[in-house]
Structure 1
């Protein structure tokens, strides 16, 4: 297998999406635009003690030399691989260690980025369901690194809160969102 380094110069030509191969697809275009804005910022790896969807496998990351340096919001693990012995260890901001965020509105608040192309498809569908069911549903599309660093969840690709409490980081289909609504008796 060939390792391809994504750069500003080759981003448009490379396949970067896990599920969609068509570069003209609006979801792929959204992800590439998001990635282009982030290439110079660097990346960190999120995992969890228990294997979970959309998070890196903890055992595999440790096998590759990464180490857990912080944890937050019930199950997120922050991992890093230092490139030098004096590298500063990253850490979560203190507000991410809180389980309940009283400053959020009642109802649902969804924070998301265009990192995953499926948010472009599913976020509008969830908004439509919430509106149809007259459920309070606020959407915050995170566009900058500064915004991402100040949301109440470490996983900014997709994080859903209900009445200030973290609900899930998994991108929801209509059926899964309906189950959450039913569990909240909405």
Structure 2
């Protein structure tokens, strides 16, 4: 099966893998496409297997990444997902090789993940299997994984401001989200808002709209995150159960 690169020319006719048939996320789906159209101008890559399913990889140079990173001449993997019936058939390796090919004039590749498999993060076991190693860490569980293609260069790092694991607002619930994911718009602005209103808990929602916003994040993550009284609760979209445990 061939790998298809999304561009401003074909994106209206192609699906972006996530939320293909999820009607409640239709607005977020279109906002993700709008976000991609803008970022394609900055060299953003969205490569997917030419099938109807979640088999894709997204990456961009560190200079144009929205993540709170410091460094240069490395490629940053944003989202990397192979799911369902497509697992275990070598498609992940095929997509990673495409990223390596597009990074041949750079010094390597990095990816934000964790100590174990977590939602929306690239599986650290996969990264380790393909030669990546942990090059930096941030509280409470973030790991920066790196693979050099040029010897004797310095790996990128997390910005110090993104390492403490807490957010500035210590009152009630604080949420951060971006339109880099089609699910975040619905789950943050509707479900989380409804939950906070029902529980009569103050809610602050921060919409990450630019590289500047992303680089100011208190954690090295821009897709979706929820804090309670300043403490990171979850990166998942359905956070009610996580919040209930802390509130009780």
Normalised by the length of structure 2, the TM-score is 0.65
CA distance in 2, matches of 1:65, 1:76: 18
What CA deviation, in whole Å up to 9, does each residue of 1:53-76 have, x standing for no partner? Answer: 211111212333433321112111
> Is 1:180 matched with 2:242?
yes
Which structure 2 segments of 5+ residues have no match? 45-59, 61-75, 78-110
Once the two structures are superposed, the pairs formed by residues 37-186 of structure 1 within 5 Å of their partners are 37-39=38-40, 40=42, 42=60, 43-44=76-77, 45-85=111-151, 88-101=154-167, 103-123=168-188, 124-172=190-238, 176-177=239-240, 179-185=241-247
Count how many residue pairs are aligned between Structure 1 and Structure 2: 181
Quote the offset at 1:32 in angstroms. Answer: 1.1
Secondary structure in 2 matching 1:56: coil
The offset of 1:181, in angstroms, is 3.7
For the residue of structure 2 that corresponds to 1:33, the secondary structure is: helix
Structure 2 contact 18–182 (Cα < 8 Å) conserved: no
| Structure with the larger strand share | 2
Alpha-carbon separation, structure 2, partners of 1:105 and 1:46? 26
Closer/same/farther in 2, CA of residues 25 and 185 from structure 1, 3 Å limit: closer
How far off its partner does 1:14 sit?
A: 2.5
In structure 1, the gaps of 5 or more residues are: none
Cα 1:85–1:35 change in 2 (3 A) is: farther
- TM-score with structure 1 length normalisation? 0.84
Tell me, yes or no, if the aligned pair for 1:17 and 1:28 is still in contact at 8 Å: no
After superposition, give the CA deviation of every residue in 1:105-144 in whole Å (9 maximum; x if it has no partner): 4111100011221112111211122112210110001011
Q: CA deviation at 1:47?
A: 1.4
For 1:80 and 1:10, how far apart are their aligned partners in 2? 31
Counterparts of 1:28-43 in structure 2, within 5 Å, are 28-39=29-40, 40=42, 42=60, 43=76
**CA pair 86-38 structure 1, distance change in 2 beyond 3 A:** farther
Structure 1 contact 30–114 (Cα < 8 Å) conserved: yes
Q: Which residue of 1 aligns with 2:85?
A: none
Report the alpha carbon displacement of residue 11 of structure 1 after superposing the two structures with TM: 2.5
- Which residue number corresponds to residue 19 of structure 1? 19
